[in-house]
Structures are given as C-alpha cells and as structure tokens.
Amino acid sequence: MKKGELITALGFIIISIVTLREAFRLGFGWVEQQGPAAGFTLFWLGLLMLLCSVMILVIGLRKKDDGEPFFVNKQGLWEAVRIFFTAALLTVGIIYTGIYWATLGYCILFTRWLGKHRWRTVILFSVVMTVAVYFGMEKGLQLPLPKSFLYKRGLFPF
C-alpha cells in the first residue's frame, strides 16, 4: 500500500504545483477597481493542497510498509484493469461508431470476456440492451445521443 500512497501524494503535489503556477500567471494579489485577482483563490488552494500532500508524502515515507497489497489479489487487479479497459474502449467506440454500436460491442465484449456467459446469452443481452437504449433514450426520452457514420449517410437509424 505504501507505494500507492506515495505515488498518489506525488500526483497531488504535481497538481498543486500546476495550480500555483497558474495562480502566479494570473496574479493572486489585489487589483484596483476589481478586487482579488483571478489567481487569488487558486493560489491559496494550491498552497494548502501542496502543504497537505507533502505532509502525506513525509508521513508515508517515515511509515513502515504495512505489507497490505494495494490490490486485493492478482485476480482482483486483473478484474479492475479489465473493467477500466473495456470502459475506455466503450468511450473510444462512442467517438468513432456512435453510442449504439459501441454499446453493442461493449456488451458483447464484457459479457463474454468478463462475465463468461454463453454466446446465446451474450448475443441476446447485447441486442436487447442496444435496442432498449435506442428506444428508451432516442425515442422515449427524445435525448439525442452520438450516432455512427452510417446514420450520417442515411443508411441506418443509428
């Protein structure tokens, strides 16, 4: 757990430094006829976050490793990675194919790869899910969602 704690603290230190740099760029003092400059709040927040993150880092460095792993076990780590990876693929898929085709692909990938369901269940669930999203969002709630190039060329309803 110690390594994870230190890396995260370092991440927050970097965010604080970026915030402070921005505050310096914008100015954080008093501007006549205007009041506090645009970087005023950023400066104090960045400073406070930097102090706290450094404290967490120092405490983390001085503390003995509790031996507790960051991830529950290897299988758990792999599962978390796969959930994030498939969600990232879904995001990229939405950009290139629209939400409905991406939903279909994501459902197939997830239910087969992570859920280990039979192909029959995989296909049935994925198609039902895509159709439900289309009729629920596009038709029912009239909420327009990103669509594919096929739709843009008038070849498919989504």
Partner 1 sequence: METLAHLMTGFGVALQPLSLLMMTLGLLLGLAVGVLPGLGGTAGVALLLPVTVLVPPTVAIIFLAAIYWGALYGGVITSVLFAIPGEPWSVALIFDGYPMAKKGQAGLALAAAFLSSFVGIFVAAIFFVAFAMPLALFALKFGPPEMFGIMLLAFSTFVGLGRGSATKTLVSTCFGLILTMVGLDIVTGHPRLTFGTMAFLSGFHFVPVTIGLFGLGEIMIDGEERFSTEIKEVIHAKLGWQDIKAGFKATKEHFGLTFFSAVLGFFVGILPGTGATPASFLGYGIAKQYSKHPEKYGQGAIEGVLAPQAAANAAGTGALLPMISLGIPGSPTAAVLLAGLYMWGLWPGPRLFIEQPVFVWGLIASLFLSGMVCLLICLLGTPMLASIMRVPWGLLTPTIVIACFIGSYVMRNLMFDVWCTLIFGLVGYVMKKLDYPLAPLAVALVLGGMTERFLRQSLIIGDGSFSVFFSTTISTVFMSIAFFLFLLPAVKLVRDKIKAGNKIAEA
Q: What is the dihedral of CA 114, 119, 123, 126, to 10 degrees?
A: -10
Q: Name, in order, each residue with C-beta under 8 angstroms of 96's C-beta and a sequence gap of 6 or more.
A: none
Identity of the residue numbered 8: T
According to CB under 8 A, which one of 64, 75, 120, 155 is a site residue for partner 1?
75
Cβ atoms within 10 Å of 87's Cβ, excluding its own: 11
CB of 140 to partner 1, least distance (A): 10
CB of 97 to partner 1, least distance (A): 13
Q: Does 22 bind partner 1 (CB under 8 A)?
A: yes
Ordered DSSP codes for 50-87: HHHHHHHHHHHHHSPP----SSS-HHHHHHHHHHHHHH
According to CB under 8 A, which one of 97, 98, 99, 134 is a site residue for partner 1?
99
According to CB under 8 A, which one of 10, 71, 150, 156 is a site residue for partner 1?
71
According to CB under 8 A, which one of 14, 24, 65, 77 is a site residue for partner 1?
77
Spell 91-110 as b/e; 16+ CB within 10 A means b: eebbeebbbbbbbbbbbbbb
Binding residues for partner 1, rule: CB under 8 A, are 1, 4-5, 8, 12, 15-16, 18-19, 22, 26, 30, 34-42, 45-46, 48-49, 52-53, 55-56, 59, 70-73, 75-77, 79-80, 82-84, 86-88, 90-91, 94-95, 99, 103, 106-107, 110-111, 114-117, 121, 125, 129, 133, 137, 141, 143-146
